[in-house]
Amino acid sequence: MALTILAALTIFMVLMFFRASITSWILALIVIVAVVAIQARFPDSILLVIGVALFLFVTVFGIPSLRRAVVSSAVLKIFRRILPQISATEQEAINAGTVWWDGDLFSGNPDWHKLLAFPKCGLSEAEQAFLDNEVEQLCAMLDDWDITHNRADLPPEVWQFIKIKGFFGMIIPKHYGGLEFSAQAHSAVVSKVASRSGTAAVTVMVPNSLGPAELLLHYGTNAQKEKYLRRLAYGVDVPCFALTGPFAGSDAGAIPDHGEVCYGEFAGKQNVLGIRVTWEKRYITLAPVATLLGLAFKLYDPKQILGGEVNRGITLALIPTDTPGVRIGRRHFPLNSAFMNGPTQGKDVFIPMDFIIGGTERIGQGWRMLMECLAAGRSISLPASSIGGMKMAARTSGAYCRVRKQFHLPIGKFEGIEEPLARIGAHTYMVDAARQLIALALDIGEKPSVLSAIIKYHATERGRIVMNDAMDVHGGKGICLGPDNYLARDYQQTPIGITVEGANILTRSMMIFGQGAIRSHPYVLKEIMAVHDEDHRRAVHQFDEALFGHIVFAMSNAARSFVFGLADGRGIPVPHGSETYRYYQRLTRFSTAFALSADVAMTVLGGSLKRREKISARLGDVLSQMYLCSATLKRFEDDGRPAEDLPLLHWAIQDALYKIQQAFDGVIQNFPNALMRRILGVLIFPLGLRLSPPSDHLGHQIAALLMQPGAARDRLTAGMYIPKVHDKAHHALSPHLNPLPQAGEEANESLRELCVYDEKDAVGALEAALHSTLLCEPLQAEVEAAYRAGKLKALEELPRIAEARDQSIITAEQAALLERDYALRRKVIMVDDFAPEQLRANK
């Protein structure tokens, strides 16, 4: 009997594991019950009862039409009673965008071969040329200290360059005079500019993000496109888009701004059908200098001039800012950033109906239009600007920690400094991988709304971590503002990206899992759509299919999670690769556990899950980390699996897997149902918590990678702006470009590299100082040895170098290199100072 029960349990586990159909379950149940009944030798009366019960069960659940009539119809009524109402704005947010790789992660069985088969990221020849020329020229024109401290604006020549070179028209088709760049190119441009100036990056990215150009492309009438897109592409019009107001921030659907349909006077014409609009908006980027205002407001038709309902819903309009009654010009001052941002107001401003984006047919569709376009903005603008700053921080921090010495050692060789350097390098590697993958998704036609929230959140949050760590390792160099401080403005302005386009607290606690659980789950959205379907027959049919598919899905994930947990994912078929296959296996294991946890949370907590934001946030963390790992693994494969990048890969993935484990533990420990706490604990972690954070040795390897010029460091920071001298004849070291006869090839290569960088620029000087340090350390050792031997008497470095040259301990060329090295190190280490009157307000 015991063996029969064990065999029955085994059969159930196998069926669950392989996601067997309902028919397979029924057949297995018949066989198991029959075997148990025969072995137990039950009396005929009991066998009859069992037979009748089994017959009823098979009849009800095995015949789809009967199952729908008896079971699914009843459950559907219960769901309609208990399922929380979804507001119109929530429904439009859920419907927006597409499901892409997030669907695989929710499936419990991601198809890794499909992920790796997506095209490699890359730019067209024209896009790369623009990046190498126009973007390079723009970056060379930018002096961020002058922009933020002296002007509080971009110089006029920079504004003009941005406009005439088409930076405002990257997303606009060539037919309308735009550049028609891919999402990857758009992202690369913003990223490179952001590595030089946050102000310039915001100025470039906003016209190409959620705003008039994108809305016109998707929804504008032909007349509107012809009228505005060329002007936007050439920079004749400067656009802004106004959504947020004092009383509607994260809850943007609650905007109080309103318009009423009426007749009025416009451009000298009487009795024009239009709208009288009143608004008060704030935080609107480019508003102070905008010539074209995109506006979101709620439209009402109290006199029912248009017919139909009085409340017509959120509507979008394009309003030239010279329209009477439009108020712009005043500025906000967001954390010492100089990009144009400010309020706009209007009181009873009359606009004709053809100002509505898309015309009267688009009345009331504004929220859906915004949600459908938001995925692209979140996927490109903020991740690109964040990674630009992160790459700059990674490259400069590594160089500074190699050049700066204390206790006769580069500070980067102290373990206390290695720890933040490891975070800087690994976070930059992972976020850049995620940025590239999301841009690729857009280019192949996807609009991944859930993944866009993930990359927006993690790019800005990890950007904050990287900037904090970079400031820590720079110490006093980082905190003193001035022309030679390349970190502080980015550090100051980091909270801006965290706050805009969905504040990060809200994004993590409500949006990532809250939207993903509905949008990306293979069955939940189908069940919800069936619940809200007014056609009862169709609703029951769809609900039955989704419900029983969902039941099999959940039971399968429970079995798979337990089995995978016992083996820590071993045995799962995944792409080959000795360095990475265990990562794929563990991610598949956690994908299964995530699908199980999501179903348990939604089933047990129901509508209250919306208020259990900490549970939702932790589940969102699991989904986020799985996406970040997916992007990182694909990047490693697409880069050709370079061995030099393995420390970055290992640290990033191991850190993410550990965070997934801790997030699951947080969900389990804080789950409000005690029974489910125990069940989830057993199914997800049958052997306990086994993963650890990345090792100190990996951190040491990353720190060394950042402090040493090489292919891995260049790949990590590829695409950032590095100030270089294009005319070597005017370089300070031009007399010493000839190779040193006593030096090896590596030293002479460092000498050639040393002559590339613009030493007048703080970042250029730091790069030159890194190469100079590596080149000159053997010479410094010779001088130091001579001093210790008593051959040299000078106490200070420069006189000692001269003395060593005069005594022929070093050559004149070597002395020149050491003197230049001293000058470079001094420039890198020194901080700016000012006369008191230079720092007075309104100077």
CB 435 within 8 Å of CB 187? yes
Structural tokens at position 62: 């095995």
Measured CA to CA, the distance from residue 587 to residue 584 in angstroms comes to 5
Look at the block and give the residue holding tokens 């980067």: 412
CA distance 193 to 167: 11
Buried b or exposed e, range 247-286, using 16+ CB within 10 angstroms: ebbeebbebebebbbbebebeeeeebebbbbbbbbbbbbb
The secondary structure element, H or E, covering residue 771 is helix 762-788
Assess contact for 187 and 385: CB atoms under 8 A.
Answer: no
- Provide the β-strand partners of residue 300: 260, 311
Say how far apart CA 672 and CA 669 lie, in whole Å. 9
Instruction: Find where tokens 């929710």 sit.
Output: 106
Residue 298 phi/psi, 5-degree rounding, is -95, 130
Report d(CA 776, CA 77) in Å as an integer: 80
The residues facing 349 across adjacent strands are: 277
β partners of residue 409: 406
Give the integer Cα–Cα distance in Å for 23 and 496: 55
DSSP assignments along 302-368, one per residue: TT-SSSS-SEEEEEEEEEETTSTTEE------GGG--S-EEEEEEEEEEEEGGGBTT-GGGTT-HHH
Which residues are CB-neighbours of 774 under 8 A, at least 6 positions away? Answer: 402, 708, 709, 750
Give the span between the Cα atoms of 813 and 805, in whole angstroms. 9
Provide the annotated active-site residues: 501
Q: What one-character DSSP code corresponds to residue 735? A: G
As a whole number of angstroms, the distance between CA 332 and CA 131 comes to: 31
Residue 277, C-beta contacts closer than 8 angstroms, at least 6 positions apart: 257, 258, 259, 295, 297, 317, 319, 346, 348, 349, 350, 351
* DSSP type of residue 83: S
Alpha-carbon dihedral sign for residues 447, 528, 674, 557: negative
What phi and psi, each to the nearest 5 degrees, are found at residue 326? -75, 130
**Among residues 157, 143, 152, 238, which one has the least CA distance to residue 197?**
143
Note the maximum CA span of the chain. Answer: 115
Query: Can you tell me the distance from the alpha carbon of 776 to that of 765, in angstroms, rounded to the nearest whole number?
Result: 15
Question: What does the block give as tokens for 362?
Answer: 């688009």
Buried b (16+ CB within 10 A) or exposed e, 773-796: bbbbeebbeebeebbeeeebeeee
| Three-class SS state of 267 | coil
The torsion angles phi and psi of 96, rounded to 5 degrees, stand at -70, 145
Distance CA 200, CA 125 (A): 24
CB atoms within 10 A of CB 221: 17
757 secondary structure, DSSP code: B
